């Protein structure tokens, strides 16, 4: 593989290039946004107060890393704990329980892109009506329990395998997600296509996922690859996920010399730098957001059930999605320039600007979000009197929650982001 393409598939380039964009913002050289660094203090105050409200003064150590696990506990229902208790009764050991959670988390996360402002999922067991990420998590859990990801030929319902996934269809997914004309969800066909391609990719990587293409076989692969089964390398997890997932993303994503590079997009601000025209790669800003969200989520079952520690986790970045990015817009740190705002409003035909997922406005916004989450992390640590929080903990207890709460306060009817995108169900 071309070394420069390999660089774009790695994690280091996500952060490095986003900070190049931040430097351009500091010099007033962005194309679509005005950057107001003085307002970062207010944003930091807002996020800090949320963290203190929910975990202060002595529960900061209880903040979980940003991951899928806690979405399954929405409404105060301990769904994963209940599931583990059921598996214990069935004589599953911790390794098999971890495999099953990896099966569940894989599928659940890959379904977890923006559902739109109107979709809801009603859980009959609890009577709860849920939406957005938590709703998708719980819906996926019930599809998992129903055996929808295991297939009819599996002797175990609570699992997933490549053959079942590559044969899933829109009807199965719509039924599981309770989608109909009265309960629309953004991008159901695209989500179905992602799961079908995931099934193909799992089956094709038998050296990692075994002959059945089971996601949970990642447990055995990573432990077998490690020189110390108690410590796993985040690099190894990342490389597996990129090898598995790069082939499954929509075909209209960015390609270089025929090679797909996933959630990585041309950005005009990068191409406008002096000398950048000499390389076909220098204008690309990678994110790999959904893969990073999956990686953060998959680490947690390893840690909680197998007491595994992870090295090199600091390579992970903040997630450039609409809650984190929306927080910086709602706090006034980022402001669409008048011409960009006007274009967005003309595209949406409504009161909020909207752009396509690969539009330069969205890519610039996401790049700034990655870099500003690092700035926010540093500022928070400086104010917390020696309390050490990882970036994934800040995402979980602070920025992501801040984006959600600001959206609910400022746009109570939809609770949506201040900037919308024409998503296909595979990006945000």
Q: At what angle do helices 218-225 and 94-110 cross, to 10 degrees?
A: 110
Q: Span 76-105, mean pLDDT?
A: 96
174: CB partners within 8 A, 6+ apart? 180, 188
Does residue 239 form part of some domain? no
Range in 199-213, 255-269, 358-372 with the lowest mean pLDDT:
255-269
Residue 426 — very low, low, confident or very high, per pLDDT cuts 50/70/90?
low
Q: What is the pLDDT of residues 24-65, one digit of tens each?
A: 999 999 999 999 999 999 999 999 999 999 999 999 999 999
Q: Give the torsion through C-alpha atoms of 320, 321, 325, 330, to 10 deg.
A: -170
For residues 181 and 317, membership in a common domain is answered with: no
Tell me phi and psi for residue 34, to 5 degrees: -90, 135
- What total number of domains does the chain contain? 2
Q: Are residues 87 and 166 in the same domain?
A: yes
421 lies in the same domain as 331: yes
User: Are residues 101 and 80 in contact, defined by beta-carbon separation less than 8 angstroms?
Assistant: yes
Please choose, from the candidates 174, 146, 175, 180, the residue with its C-alpha nearest in 3D space to the C-alpha of residue 160. 146
For residue 35, give its domain range: 1-65+280-296+309-428
CA distance 262 to 285: 11
Q: Is the pLDDT of residue 276 over 50?
A: no
> Is 30 found in the same domain as 78?
no
Q: What is the pLDDT of residues 131-140, one digit of tens each?
A: 988 999 999 9
Instruction: Kindly report the pTM of this predicted structure.
Output: 0.93
- What pLDDT, on a 0 to 100 scale, did the predictor assign at position 2? 85
Render the burial of 322-353: b for 16+ CB within 10 Å, e for the rest.
bbbbbbbbbbebbbbeeebbebbeebeeeeeb
pLDDT tens-digit readout, 383-418 = 998 899 999 999 999 999 999 999 999 999 989 999
- Examine the domain organization and report whether 48 and 71 are in the same domain: no
Per-residue confidence (pLDDT) for residue 152, from 0 to 100: 79
* Rounded Cα gap, residues 217 and 239, in angstroms: 15
Q: Tell me: the pLDDT tens digits for 190-248?
A: 899 999 999 999 999 999 999 999 999 999 999 999 888 789 999 999 999 999 999 99
Beta-strand pair 309-311/259-260:
unpaired
> For 296-354, how does the pLDDT look when each residue is reduced to its tens digit (9 = 90+)?
999 999 999 999 999 999 999 999 998 999 999 999 999 999 999 999 999 999 899 99
The mean pLDDT of the chain is 93
Domain co-membership, 50 together with 76: no
Check whether residue 178 and residue 326 sit in a common domain.
Answer: no
- Assess whether 21 and 73 both reside in one domain: no
Per the structure block, which two tokens stand in for 260? 């797909």
């Amino acid at each position: 593989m071309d070394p420069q393409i390999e660089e774009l598939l790695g994690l280091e380039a996500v952060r490095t290039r986003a900070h190049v964009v931040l430097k351009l913002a500091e010099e007033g050289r962005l194309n679509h946004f005005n950057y107001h660094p003085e307002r970062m203090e207010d944003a930091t105050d807002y996020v800090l107060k949320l963290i203190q409200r929910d975990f202060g003064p002595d529960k900061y150590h209880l903040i979980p890393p940003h991951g899928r696990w806690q979405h399954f506990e929405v409404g105060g229902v301990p769904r994963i704990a209940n599931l583990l208790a059921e598996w214990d009764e069935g004589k599953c050991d911790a390794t098999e329980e971890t495999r099953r959670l990896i099966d569940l988390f894989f599928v659940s996360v890959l379904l977890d892109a923006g559902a739109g402002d109107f979709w809801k999922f009603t859980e009959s067991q609890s009577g709860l009506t849920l939406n957005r990420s938590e709703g998708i998590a719980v819906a996926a859990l019930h599809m998992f329990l129903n055996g929808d990801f295991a297939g009819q030929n599996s002797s175990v319902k609570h699992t997933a395998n490549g053959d079942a996934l590559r044969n899933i269809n829109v009807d199965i997914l719509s039924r599981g997600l309770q989608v109909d004309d009265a309960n629309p969800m953004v991008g159901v066909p695209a989500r179905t296509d992602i799961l079908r391609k995931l099934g193909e990719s799992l089956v094709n990587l038998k050296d990692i996922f075994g002959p059945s293409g089971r996601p949970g076989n990642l447990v055995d692969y990573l432990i077998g690859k490690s020189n110390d089964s108690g410590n796993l390398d985040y690099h190894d997890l990342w490389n597996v996920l990129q090898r598995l997932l790069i082939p499954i993303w929509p075909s209209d994503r960015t390609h270089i010399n025929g090679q797909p590079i996933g959630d990585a997009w041309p950005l005009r601000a990068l191409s406008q730098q002096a000398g950048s025209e000499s390389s076909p790669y220098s204008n690309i800003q990678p994110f790999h957001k959904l893969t990073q969200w999956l990686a953060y989520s998959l680490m947690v079952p390893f840690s909680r059930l197998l007491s595994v520690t992870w090295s090199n986790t600091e390579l992970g970045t903040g997630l450039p999605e609409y809650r984190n990015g929306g927080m910086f817009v709602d706090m006034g740190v980022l402001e669409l320039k008048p011409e960009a705002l006007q274009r967005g409003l003309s595209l949406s035909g409504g009161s909020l600007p909207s752009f396509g997922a690969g539009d330069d406005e969205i890519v610039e916004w996401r790049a700034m979000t990655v870099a500003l989450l690092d700035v926010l992390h540093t500022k928070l640590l400086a104010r917390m009197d020696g309390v050490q929080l990882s970036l994934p903990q800040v995402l979980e207890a602070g920025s992501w929650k801040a984006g959600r709460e600001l959206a609910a306060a400022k746009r109570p009817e939809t609770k949506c982001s201040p900037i919308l995108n024409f998503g296909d169900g595979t990006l945000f």
